[in-house]
Chain A
Amino acid sequence: MTKTVIVSCGTAVATSTVAAKAIEEACKKAGIAVVTKQCKSAELQGYISQGADLIVSTTQMRFDPGIPVLNGLPFLTGMGKDKLIEEILELLKD
């Protein structure tokens, strides 16, 4: 089943673009069907209510979304990137 990952950042323009691309590539390699949805952190509630499996955020979470959240900064800084990808794949696999 196709998984949905919400990728959230401050503007939905910059950092979430980098993170979304990296998630799509990693999932493709692992054979996981995934859809990424980029949004601003201010729009998160609306996107969550449409259903999602995971949030990867490059801003601070201000509430408990009820689904897993991972810190997306490693996609920008490179530090801990492999571990983050592992965690994402672990959460998304059936």
Chain B
Amino acid sequence: MKVKDYLSEEAVILGLEASTSEEVIRALGGRLRELGYVKENFVEAALEREMNMPTGLPLGGIYNAAIPHVDIEYVNKSALGLATLRYPVVFKNMVENQVDVPCQLVIMLALDKPKSQVEMLQSVAGLLQSPEIIEKIVKAQTVAEIFKSLP
């Protein structure tokens, strides 16, 4: 199972204009909620988690990404959400929490089982490790273009 198998076109937000990580999480989490993948309290949980344990990842290329996610109890059915950001938005570094990571790609992980979905997670990690694919996704003008680039 790859990224594409867990991501629906409706769960993609293209060129989101946001100035804070909270706005991004509200928009993307709200979308996953509308689509029924996550429970009502998912967004609040994701915001709290991001504040205490941020998910910004400095990557090898021009663009960085964040991967907000929460405990399985807030999820109905495993899915991914993806947002490209028109302007970089600061998330905090996952391990060095005081460090800012300006991100232009956000992949929200909604997982319904612990320690599973290994393939999908490895596929996400594979994506994060491909600066060329990240660049294509961030620069995509249509959702179809994003899907063409995804593993």
CB contacts (< 8 Å) of B33 on chain A: these are none
Q: Are A14 and B118 in contact (CB under 8 A)?
A: no
Given contacts A38-B115, A59-B94, A78-B60, contact A11 B128 (CB under 8 A): no
Q: Can you report 24 residue pairs joining A to B where beta carbons are below 8 Å apart?
A: A10-B53, A11-B49, A13-B71, A13-B109, A13-B114, A14-B111, A17-B116, A17-B118, A18-B125, A21-B122, A38-B114, A57-B95, A58-B95, A59-B94, A59-B95, A60-B94, A60-B97, A71-B95, A73-B57, A76-B57, A76-B125, A77-B60, A77-B129, A78-B60
Which residue numbers of B lie inside 8 Å of A, CB to CB?
49, 52-53, 55, 57-60, 67, 69-72, 94-97, 109, 111, 114-118, 121-122, 124-125, 128-129
**Total number of residue pairs linking A and B with CB closer than 8 Å:** 78
CB contacts (< 8 Å) of B60 on chain A: these are 77-79
Question: How many residues on A have C-beta within 8 angstroms of the other chain's C-beta atoms?
Answer: 24
- CB nearest to A79 among chain B residues: B60
CB contacts (< 8 Å) of A18 on chain B: these are 118, 121-122, 124-125
Chain B nearest CB: distance from A82 CB in Å? 12
Which of B115, B116, B122 has its CB near the most chain A CB atoms (within 10 A)? B115
CB contacts (< 8 Å) of A17 on chain B: these are 115-118, 121
